[in-house]
């Protein structure tokens, strides 16, 4: 079914591209776009089959994300983030999945994973309180995955969990007015002492060990993949897509441009411009090739029932952050050589530049931290991190 989703999405791209500027100004994706993505099956690509999902190959999912991001990065970002949450929900206990999808398999879940919430143990579950920022697409979701620390009797953190909370238990505060990814409506979520039953929490320790309750009912290899691989790719794929779209716009716009300065002449004849295009194209290709290679190797090991080695998990993170870094460097190079017209609001190169930089500051794109982890692993040192 994944090729059919991609074909459906390709027919939507012109319309989504035309609405990109409006989404930027409105600071949210139009509901018409969300309906189109829903009807095309985008949000179900990583969802369990038992709940109407497709359990697609992650390589195919991120191909769709990049295509959407090339015409509107905010749309691609939401497709990626909300889509990967359907995968993570498949890791939760069966009852939690039934709570969300039992009545409507198109129910969407947003997130904010920073452990800023506080969970206090009570009979049958926990009490949750907190305020979370940057919950992308929360306006289009009716559940949320929220990071929180379990507080023990002495008031000290004793565990790190992800809590699944229904829309009736939290409020959304409009706090998203930023320079890039403006259409993602990544607003704040506020929870005040609500009860979260035991079956709606997932321990990060279990997730990192790839031993989660959801595997009892979702036995496909997709649900044996590391969160640190699938989720981090979800924040890099849109950046790559945005830069790829910016590259295509740059070539199209500059091909016929005639310079009014620096001696005049056609821009396309400038060898420095030619070199800039070659460097940018190569960096974009490298990011896609490495991401797809790592996802394929992870999936092949999971399908074979083999252990996924830490070396591969660390390599995936290494290439993921370098992918973001390369993509940003590529759009920086193009933006720098595009001239003053690239500064105009609404210019697709300008929007790609803003969106790529906005995506690059996500915690999963902390380049130095991820590369240091890879270096520790290469030296045989222990690596402990929730995003591996």
Segment 77-101, tens digit of pLDDT: 999 999 999 999 999 999 999 999 9
Determine the Cα angle at 46 with ends 29 and 80, to 5°: 30
Separation of alpha carbons 67 and 9, rounded Å: 8
> How do 109-122 and 143-151 pair as beta strands?
parallel
Average pLDDT over residues 275-302: 97
Q: Where is pLDDT greater, at 358 or 338? A: 358
Whether 232 and 366 share a structural domain: yes
Residue 305 pLDDT > 70, yes or no? yes
C-alpha radius of gyration, the chain, whole number: 21
Answer whether residue 57 is part of any domain.
Answer: no
- Domains of the chain: total: 2
What is the model's pLDDT at position 256?
Answer: 82
Cα→Cα distances 255→51, 153, 284, Å? 48, 67, 20
What range does the domain containing 114 cover?
Answer: 108-202
Contacts of 201 (CB under 8 A, 6+ apart): 119, 125, 126, 161, 162, 163, 164
Nearest to 127 by CA among 149, 112, 154: 149
Answer whether residue 195 is part of any domain.
Answer: yes
Angle between helices 58-71 and 73-89 (to 10 degrees): 160
Whether 229 and 198 share a structural domain: no
Separation of alpha carbons 11 and 264, rounded Å: 40
Answer whether residue 385 is part of any domain.
Answer: no
Separation of alpha carbons 94 and 65, rounded Å: 28
Average pLDDT over residues 363-381: 97
SS3 135: strand
Look up residue 171 and give its two tokens.
């409020």
Segment 24-39, tens digit of pLDDT: 999 999 999 999 999 9
What is the model's pLDDT at position 262?
Answer: 61
DSSP lists the bridge partners of residue 145 as 111, 164
Band of pLDDT at residue 373, cut at 50, 70 and 90? very high
| Domain end marker among 202, 236, 267 | 202
What is the model's pLDDT at position 342?
Answer: 73
Residue 261 pLDDT > 70, yes or no? no
What is the model's pLDDT at position 258?
Answer: 78
Nearest to 283 by CA among 322, 248, 335: 322
Band of pLDDT at residue 344, cut at 50, 70 and 90? confident
**DSSP H or E segment with residue 162:** strand 157-166
Residue 250 pLDDT > 70, yes or no? yes
Whether 301 and 185 share a structural domain: no
Average pLDDT over residues 206-217: 96
Whether 198 and 236 share a structural domain: no
What is the model's pLDDT at position 264?
Answer: 62
Separation of alpha carbons 141 and 5, rounded Å: 21
SS3 171: strand
**Lowest mean pLDDT: which of 7-21, 338-352, 360-374?**
338-352
Q: Which CATH number goes with the domain that contains 186? A: 2.40.110.10
Whether 238 and 352 share a structural domain: yes
How is residue 258 annotated by DSSP?
B
DSSP lists the bridge partners of residue 143 as 109, 166
Look up residue 351 and give its two tokens.
């929007």
What is the model's pLDDT at position 53?
Answer: 98
Answer whether residue 80 is part of any domain.
Answer: no
Whether 264 and 198 share a structural domain: no
Whether 196 and 288 share a structural domain: no
Whether 192 and 297 share a structural domain: no
Band of pLDDT at residue 267, cut at 50, 70 and 90? confident
What is the model's pLDDT at position 44?
Answer: 98
What is the model's pLDDT at position 339?
Answer: 78
Band of pLDDT at residue 129, cut at 50, 70 and 90? very high
Residue 263 pLDDT > 80, yes or no? no
Q: Which CATH number goes with the domain that contains 320? A: 1.20.140.10
Percent of the chain residues topping a pLDDT of 70: 98
Band of pLDDT at residue 1, cut at 50, 70 and 90? confident
What is the model's pLDDT at position 275?
Answer: 94
Whether 361 and 248 share a structural domain: yes
Whether 247 and 177 share a structural domain: no
Answer whether residue 248 is part of any domain.
Answer: yes
Determine the Cα angle at 14 with ends 9 and 20, to 5°: 100
Buried b (16+ CB within 10 A) or exposed e, 340-367: eebeeeebbbbbbbbbbbbbbebebbbe
Buried b (16+ CB within 10 A) or exposed e, 37-53: beebbbbbbbbbebbeb
Answer whether residue 29 is part of any domain.
Answer: no
SS3 230: helix
Separation of alpha carbons 346 and 333, rounded Å: 19
Look up residue 221 and give its two tokens.
């290899």
| Domain end marker among 202, 232, 265 | 202
Q: Compute the Cα dihedral for 140, 141, 142, 148 and give only its sign.
A: negative
| Domain end marker among 136, 171, 202 | 202
Q: Compute the Cα dihedral for 249, 250, 251, 255 and give only its sign.
A: positive
Average pLDDT over residues 233-256: 95
Whether 353 and 309 share a structural domain: yes
What is the model's pLDDT at position 257?
Answer: 82
The Cβ of residue 176 has, within 10 Å, a number of other Cβ atoms equal to: 21
Separation of alpha carbons 76 and 258, rounded Å: 33
Look up residue 229 and give its two tokens.
């691989």
Separation of alpha carbons 81 and 74, rounded Å: 11
Answer whether residue 337 is part of any domain.
Answer: yes
Percent of the chain residues topping a pLDDT of 90: 88
Residue 296 pLDDT > 70, yes or no? yes
Whether 189 and 235 share a structural domain: no
Does the pTM surpass 0.75? The reply is yes
Answer whether residue 14 is part of any domain.
Answer: no
What is the model's pLDDT at position 375?
Answer: 98
Average pLDDT over residues 166-171: 98
What is the model's pLDDT at position 346?
Answer: 76
């Amino acid at each position: 079914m994944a090729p059919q989703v991609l074909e459906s999405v390709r027919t939507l791209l012109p319309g989504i591209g035309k609405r990109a500027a409006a989404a930027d100004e409105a600071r949210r994706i139009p509901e018409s776009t969300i309906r189109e993505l829903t009807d095309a099956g985008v949000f179900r690509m990583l969802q369990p089959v038992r709940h109407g999902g497709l359990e697609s190959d992650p390589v195919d999912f991120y191909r769709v994300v990049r295509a959407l991001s090339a015409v509107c990065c905010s749309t691609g970002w939401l497709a990626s983030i909300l889509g990967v949450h359907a995968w993570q929900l498949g890791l939760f206990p069966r009852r939690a999945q039934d709570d969300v999808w039992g009545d409507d398999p198109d129910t969407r879940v947003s997130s904010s994973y920073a452990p800023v919430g506080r969970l206090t143990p009570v009979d049958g579950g926990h009490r949750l309180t907190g305020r979370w920022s940057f919950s992308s697409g929360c306006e289009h979701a009716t559940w949320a995955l929220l990071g929180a620390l379990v507080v023990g009797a002495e008031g000290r953190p004793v565990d790190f969990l992800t809590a699944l909370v229904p829309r009736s238990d939290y409020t959304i505060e409009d706090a998203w007015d930023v320079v890039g990814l403006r259409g993602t409506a990544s607003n704040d979520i506020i929870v005040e002492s609500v009860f979260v039953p035991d079956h709606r929490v997932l321990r990060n320790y279990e997730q990192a060990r790839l031993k989660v309750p959801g595997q009892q009912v979702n036995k496909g290899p997709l649900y044996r993949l590391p969160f640190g691989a699938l989720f981090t790719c979800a924040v890099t794929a849109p950046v790559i897509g945005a830069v790829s779209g910016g590259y295509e716009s740059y070539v199209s716009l500059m091909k016929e441009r005639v310079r009014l300065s620096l001696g005049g002449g056609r821009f396309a004849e400038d060898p420095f411009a030619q070199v800039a295009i070659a460097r940018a194209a190569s960096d974009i290709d490298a990011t896609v090739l490495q991401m797809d290679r790592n996802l394929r190797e992870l999936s092949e090991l999971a399908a074979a029932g083999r252990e996924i080695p830490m070396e591969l998990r660390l390599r995936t993170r290494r290439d993921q952050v370098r992918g973001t870094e390369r993509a940003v460097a590529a759009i920086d190079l193009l933006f720098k050589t595009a001239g003053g017209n690239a500064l105009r609001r609404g210019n697709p190169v300008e929007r790609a530049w803003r969106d790529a930089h906005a995506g690059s500051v996500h915690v999963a794109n902390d380049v130095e931290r991820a590369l240091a982890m890879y270096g520790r692993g290469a030296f045989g040192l222990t690596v402990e991190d929730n995003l591996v």
